[in-house]
Structure 1
Amino acid sequence: MDTTTGKVRSAPVIGGGIAGPVTAMALQRAGIEATIYEAYDGPAENVGGGMGLAPNGFQAFDAIGVGDAVRAVSTATSGLVLHSWNGKKLAEFGTLPGIDPTRFVMRAELFGALRQAAEERGVPTVYGKRIVRATEDADGVTAHFEDGTTATADVLIGADGVRSTVRRLIDPNAPEPQFAGTAGFGAMVTVADVSPTKGWMHMTFGKRCFFAWQVFDDGTGIWFVNLPVPQALSVGEQRERGAAYWIEHLRQLCSEDDTPAEQMLAATDPKTMLFAGSTENMSPDVTWSRGRMVLTGDAAHAPSSSSGQGASLAAESAVELARCLRDLPLPQALARYEELRRPRVEKIIKETARTNARKAAGPVARVIRDALLPIMFKLAKPESRLWQFRYPIDFDAPVA
């Protein structure tokens, strides 16, 4: 640490998923030496399904110069179309005026692009480093790893996801992620008998599950399902049943809905089935920092996948944390970071909870939902959603 200013000069970033590389690159740009420590023995290739990257996420990516790399592996979408189980259109959300389109990306492709960008910038990643504890003194913080090695720096950053170990090191009584009522499944497919959707993602509130799909002009497509389940379902539990079981089970559940689920599920190769586990929200009661340790990304604030904002919010927070650490002494930097970020992410998480409730609606609630949603969306002004998608970051501007 710079003893004259009290500002941070080095930071280990715990977690090599999405938030980790973005945080490390943002720190590097801020003049802070950063190393990524990943618990697994190698990169998590071909893990996870598809996701939306909102315009505000790209504003964060652009702030550290990786926006074009992410655009290269993602596809612009025209908007979303919501349907009821019988095919009735409930609402349509196109790209808002003055806002870039949301883009679709497979998690593996996004991870690969960010990992490559970090490598090209000389940001080191050390694999097989599972943090077990941390110790602090007046001069710094030391991460202790399961293999007996350590890493000492000015501040330790937990970017280790929704089941963060660093979160428990900051607060041993930290809340666990909250089950949001559904489990996720998906796959990339090639379908000859389903028309291209011209850039639109279609989503159906089905009788027994939520089904979404998009078909590209080359005949490839993506589908995903949010299946209401009575209790949390892990990825391991999904895989234990087997992809063939779930494909047939989901076909039966979607059989009464007016969607191309039958064709797209039939075209799914079980080997390519993607399991997402349960949808989860992070409680707003999380303690974001203590002493020389701080959280970012899903470790601090994890909206469920229904938000379409998980990766984008993580990128925003990573960039803002780096700016605060660059410009302010450590205690003030962490306090200012939380002031900048907590109100925004908690508002989005609250909005997402409403969406999750709609997906898991029972028979009576489904009828009420399908009757009220068209009215609600018709009355809502498009500009009322701009706050989510417009979050410009001037990286070079000083943090007050």
Structure 2
Amino acid sequence: MPTTPLQVLIVGNGVVGSILAMALQKTTPHKIIVVDAGPKDSVPIGAGVGMTPNGANALSFIDADYILTERGCMYHGIQMGRGDTDRLLLKEATAETYSKNWGHGTYGISRQVLVGSLRELAEKRGIEMRFNMRLTTVEEKDKVVTARFKDGTVLTADLLFGCDGIHSVVRSYVVGEVAKPRYAGASTVVGISKLSAEDEAAANLNRNLNFWMGKGVLFGTYPSDSEGSWSWQVTWDEDPKGGESDWAKDTSLAVLIKLASEKTASWKSRIPSIVIPKAYRAYPVGLYDRDPMNVWHRGRVVLCGDSAHPTTPFGGQGSQMAAESAVLLARLLGEHEEPSEEVFQKYAQLRGSRTNAVTINARNGLNSIIGIANWRFGFLLELVRDGFLYMFGPSFFRNGMRGLFAYNVATAPLN
């Protein structure tokens, strides 16, 4: 562990900001301040978060996995099928297998609960947090980083970590340009519904992660606590106002429920019609990612999480990759007395191949579910896809998505 404390500024206090702060507190003597553009009591955009074993292991590094076990809900398994024909393609129990093999199952949890719990834990551990601070510019001179904020506040630090998401201001400084994210060609409405035991039984949800496909539409739902809250999403290949439009902000809950319900109205499956109308929270989201890149730092300014490697949510690995990157970055800094170019290059090298693969696989997976209906001979490709899921899907999930879940960032080699 380094012996010289440094002043560290973390910009962005969503899922990854608090994880990075607590991981650095564990591995270094550094003084840490976490700032966020929003108010302290704001509700994070989004509905639920799925945490797979690799993500849960990252939380274990900072002794925060209890948030999942106490405030989330572990899935019994996974079900996938055709919603338009109500045909089940695969059903696989995973809870016991995952827990035995990798130490954790897969959990659903409300994003609001996850972010709030991480912030609460970080504050209890003495990490300073400030809110309503929107970053405008970053400068560095003589190993001192200066951050300027919209309210006129100026903060200096020895290290600055950008955890400020896909539209990261810090990323613009590191990369040297302001580039729009890549629109993924799909949009989604996400929500959380309160279901009774009778609702769950009627929909045959079985405390599983459920995915149901139709022509250019995907519906997914999973439990986000043990008291009847279910997160859900409806994703489709047509944005009503175009991929670059922000069609989310002023849309009411009733309108979003209607929009989401219309996408699955012709389906034979009853699940969407049971889950969606019971929503008490919903958000519309355009899906974006960015092309993988090799440069994750500039001097003493470093990217982490979605600011470095944003991905679409297909595959459920966005939060996992962010948590892993935070822990690995903290471990590397804890192994060296001084931060350096070599340390940050190693960080990008160690994380890059894994996060790049997740980003590309999420793109391809989204296209195979959402975009395939519009391809030439799409109906034949759907048959091939459905046949593959039926024959090989159980093994794919049983083995942790090609070994993706087996990775433990707390013990992964640093060379």
TM score, norm. by length of structure 2: 0.86
Q: What is the SS of the residue equivalent to 1:117? A: helix
- Contact conserved, 2:166 with 2:306, CA < 8 A, in 1? yes
How far 1:240 moved relative to its partner? 2.9
Match of 1:187 in 2: 192
Match of 1:392 in 2: 408
Whole-angstrom distance in 2 between the partners of 1:291 and 1:220: 45
Matches within 5 A, 1:278-357: 278-285=286-293, 287-328=295-336, 329=338, 330-357=340-367
Whole-angstrom distance in 2 between the partners of 1:178 and 1:379: 31
Work out whether 1:226 is the aligned partner of 2:245: no
Moved more, 342-351 or 190-199: 190-199
Moved more, 353-362 or 309-318: 353-362
- Contact conserved, 2:295 with 2:348, CA < 8 A, in 1? no
Matches within 5 A, 1:258-269: 258-259=268-269, 260-268=271-279
Residue type matched to 1:54 in 2? Answer: T
Moved more, 295-304 or 372-381: 372-381
- Contact conserved, 1:142 with 1:151, CA < 8 A, in 2? yes
Please list the CA deviations of residues 22-80 of structure 1 after superposition, one character each: whole Å capped at 9, or x if unmatched: 11111111122211011123243364211210100111111121111332211101222
How far 1:307 moved relative to its partner? 2.2
Moved more, 375-384 or 113-122: 375-384
Work out whether 1:10 is the aligned partner of 2:22: no
Q: Structure 1 residues 253 and 11, CA, compared in 2 at 3 Å: closer, same or farther?
A: same
Q: What is the SS of the residue equivalent to 1:336? A: helix
- Contact conserved, 2:68 with 2:107, CA < 8 A, in 1? no
Matches within 5 A, 1:218-257: 220-230=229-239, 231-232=242-243, 237-257=247-267
Please list the CA deviations of residues 187-230 of structure 1 after superposition, one character each: whole Å capped at 9, or x if unmatched: 32325445152221221112352112346886553332112224
Whole-angstrom distance in 2 between the partners of 1:316 and 1:51: 15
Whole-angstrom distance in 2 between the partners of 1:360 and 1:140: 47
How far 1:324 moved relative to its partner? 1.4
From 372, 377, 388, give the equivalent of 1:376: 388
TM score, norm. by length of structure 1: 0.89
How far 1:251 moved relative to its partner? 2.3
From 205, 208, 212, give the equivalent of 1:204: 212
User: RMSD across aligned C-alpha pairs, in angstroms?
Assistant: 2.6
Q: Structure 1 residues 249 and 139, CA, compared in 2 at 3 Å: closer, same or farther?
A: closer
Whole-angstrom distance in 1 between the partners of 2:268 and 2:164: 40
Match of 2:57 in 1: 59
Match of 1:135 in 2: 139
Whole-angstrom distance in 1 between the partners of 2:384 and 2:93: 20
Identity %: 25
Whole-angstrom distance in 1 between the partners of 2:48 and 2:378: 26
The gaps in structure 2 that reach 5 residues or longer are none
Please list the CA deviations of residues 87-106 of structure 1 after superposition, one character each: whole Å capped at 9, or x if unmatched: 12233454255133210011
Whole-angstrom distance in 2 between the partners of 1:26 and 1:212: 32
Q: Structure 1 residues 277 and 190, CA, compared in 2 at 3 Å: closer, same or farther?
A: same
Please list the CA deviations of residues 358-386 of structure 1 after superposition, one character each: whole Å capped at 9, or x if unmatched: 22332566523431124334247533724
Q: What is the SS of the residue equivalent to 2:247? A: helix
